[in-house]
Structure 1
Amino acid sequence: MKTAFTMLSPPGVRARLSILIFHRVLPARDSIFPGEVDATRFNEICSWLKGWAEVLPLDEAAARLASGSLPARACAITFDDGYEDNRSVALPILQKHGLSATFFIATGFLDSGRMWNDRVIEAIRRAPDGMLDCRELLGKEGASFALAGPDSRRAAIETILTAIKYRPMDERLSLACELERRVGVPESLRLMMDDSQVRELRQAGMQIGAHTCSHPILATLDRTQARREIGDSKRYLEDLLREPVSLFAYPNGKPGRDYSPESVDIVKELGFETAVSTAWGAASGRSDRLQLPRFSPWDHTRLRWRARLLGNLRRG
């Protein structure tokens, strides 16, 4: 692996940077989302990276990429959103392998439970078997779902999330909360970190970046709204950590669809030095430092995970 990785990701001016993206690291396998990374799988991935790659903090990696001084097989690990299991499950595994990571925090959800999409997921997870009528709730995009095993629940979740993802933020959250209310999800359910856990990540040597306040689709906002979302999240984290925050991740992160050139201008104006998207690929010295691509293989075996990572390095 090292030989192939070095050929595709050499040191110096021809370097390529693989930035991996994760969200959650579950304590155990989720029957509804069996592809979600759990502790066992993340431990495997970290052991592979420890043997194959040169894992660097994202800010250092981006700076060295721009200066032409990046080492061979360079890689950075990132997490989006701010889930509690990032602190309780992912951090000990990273520390075990001596690896660093950057955690991008949607600050509006700290201390407050769960994001809008998780409200939908947890409602469908807890709904009783049988028909769930969402036509009134979702309008013309609605449907009735026959809920039984994991497959039917996953299909219902994916349909509902697709139907409301690009609606206005307030409407999106209101629909998710109403679905929770109908099912009876306890408001006490908390999936996100609190302030103290974010501080613990930083004190453990991890990096913290901003990810807006409420995780909106930035391309749907006007300039004032987008600047407030991005700037307020930066200020919140800087006040919390008492240090500058120079890293940013675009919510959802698809260029042109989820964020616009105006979004990038705002990120630059607010003083961020490095920002990441979810466009596939590996970064090169020609990459826009405020739109670095990210990619994580989804395969479960070592051989296929490695092949997928190498394929991403060949992408451009």
Structure 2
Amino acid sequence: MLTKLAYSLLSPAGARGRLTILTLHRVLPQADDIFPGEVDAARFREILGWLNDWAHVMPLDEAAERLARGSLPARACVLTFDDGYEDNVSVALPILQEFRMPATFFIATGFLGQGRMWNDRIIEAIRHAPAGALDLSTVTGDERSRFQIGDASSRRQAIDALLGVIKYRVPDERVQCVAAIETLCGGAHDQALMMGDAGIRQLRAAGMQIGAHTVNHPILATLDAAGMRREIGDSKDYLEAVLREPVRLFAYPNGKPGQDYNADSVAQVKDLGFLAAVSTVWGAARQGDSMFELPRFTPWDTSRFRYRSRIVENLIRH
């Protein structure tokens, strides 16, 4: 009751309303010892139970329109998923339906039905690499890419370091680096992690919303105007062809303004006819904030007390 009262005071109905948008990626069937903070099915069900007690969970398009009009309900909250993982359909969707909660799924269309995104290829390569010394400095050009791997913690450290080094490479160079890393780690692993067109249709048929997330998940700020427009516009066109309806929502890959996307990116999103777009800047949106840079955040906390505290802190932040 105390959480609901604090939430209502900080996120009231009407013109003073605040919009909390939560970011997720995967919902694993079981916990992963390398990524213990990643949400699994049991934890996702627990989180939705908390939100059911505290928040008014609503579709993103309705929330954005009501934010602009100053007519949000109290404790307005939106759930979003990035990238297009298959477990969003097989694991997350049934739990969302159990709680009768909507969510928005932002899809990087270039990876649909193709197995894995570049970062997941690195994760699986390091996960399956033989224990011992692993020197990837000749691939990355970074002397810090020398690792001693064995347990889950050391593999996680190597993964985090490699993702940080490779993330801002242009897409073609990034793909080449990933392939070389797979070779040095013992070969590629072909487990399919991404949904296909049927998964997108299934989510939409269940009442979920679908948004664009570029084709290849590039850092938009590294692209020229033509490349940026292709990435944003082609993902929108593909999803509209799959769904046979307009796609009006967009998420910037990685999502940090000035670093991952820029003013040109925002202008392209507006020009392509989107209703709203989300970043990864923490905070909760107010009336008057740009509909094309709505903040989002991820409370990683595992206890009910810390999770609700994080939501309250995020409301105070902005």
TM-score range, shorter chain: over 0.9
Secondary structure at 1:13 match in 2:
coil
Unpaired runs of 5+ residues, structure 2, are none
Q: Hey, what's the Cα distance between the residues in 2 that align with 1:236 and 1:104?
A: 13
User: What residue number does 1:67 align with?
Assistant: 69
Q: Hey, what's the Cα distance between the residues in 2 that align with 1:307 and 1:11?
A: 20
User: What residue number does 1:37 align with?
Assistant: 39
Q: Hey, what's the Cα distance between the residues in 1 that align with 2:151 and 2:224?
A: 42
Deviates more, 1:11-20 or 1:171-180: 171-180
User: What residue number does 2:147 align with?
Assistant: 145
Q: 2:124, 2:189 within 8 Å by CA — same for their partners in 1?
A: no
Alpha-carbon offset, residue 185 of structure 1: 4.2
Q: Hey, what's the Cα distance between the residues in 2 that align with 1:196 and 1:305?
A: 34
Q: Hey, what's the Cα distance between the residues in 2 that align with 1:291 and 1:103?
A: 17
Q: Hey, what's the Cα distance between the residues in 2 that align with 1:244 and 1:275?
A: 15
Q: Is structure 2 residue 102 aligned with structure 1 residue 82? A: no
Q: Is structure 2 residue 218 aligned with structure 1 residue 216? A: yes
Q: Hey, what's the Cα distance between the residues in 2 that align with 1:4 and 1:51?
A: 13
Q: TM-score, normalised by structure 1?
A: 0.98
User: What residue number does 1:177 align with?
Assistant: 179
CA deviations over 1:7-27 (Å, ceiling 9, x no partner): 000000000000000001111
Letter in 2 for 1:95: Q
Runs of 4+ more than 2 Å apart: 140-143, 181-188
Which of 216, 239, 257 is the equivalent residue of 2:241?
Answer: 239
Unpaired runs of 5+ residues, structure 1, are none
CA deviations over 1:248-305 (Å, ceiling 9, x no partner): 0000000111000000000000000110000000001021001000012111000010
User: What residue number does 2:308 align with?
Assistant: 306
Q: 1:136, 1:142 within 8 Å by CA — same for their partners in 2?
A: no
Alpha-carbon offset, residue 142 of structure 1: 4.7
Q: Hey, what's the Cα distance between the residues in 2 that align with 1:150 and 1:90?
A: 25
Q: Hey, what's the Cα distance between the residues in 2 that align with 1:292 and 1:310?
A: 18
Q: 2:112, 2:194 within 8 Å by CA — same for their partners in 1?
A: yes
Q: 1:296, 1:309 within 8 Å by CA — same for their partners in 2?
A: no
Q: 1:122, 1:185 within 8 Å by CA — same for their partners in 2?
A: no
Q: 1:14, 1:284 within 8 Å by CA — same for their partners in 2?
A: yes
Q: 2:125, 2:189 within 8 Å by CA — same for their partners in 1?
A: no
Q: Is structure 2 residue 28 aligned with structure 1 residue 5? A: no
Which of 21, 24, 27 is the equivalent residue of 1:22?
Answer: 24
- For these two proteins, the number of residue pairs brought into alignment is 316
Percent of pairs with identical residues: 61
Letter in 1 for 2:8: T
Q: Is structure 2 residue 272 aligned with structure 1 residue 283? A: no
Q: Hey, what's the Cα distance between the residues in 2 that align with 1:206 and 1:180?
A: 35
User: What residue number does 1:205 align with?
Assistant: 207
Q: Hey, what's the Cα distance between the residues in 2 that align with 1:141 and 1:98?
A: 50
Letter in 1 for 2:230: R
Deviates more, 1:224-233 or 1:166-175: 166-175
User: What residue number does 1:273 align with?
Assistant: 275
Cα distance 1:45–1:185, how it changes in 2: closer, same or farther (>3 A)? Answer: farther
Alpha-carbon offset, residue 181 of structure 1: 2.6
Q: Hey, what's the Cα distance between the residues in 1 that align with 2:176 and 2:98?
A: 41
Letter in 2 for 1:206: M
CA deviations over 1:56-80 (Å, ceiling 9, x no partner): 0000000001011110000000000
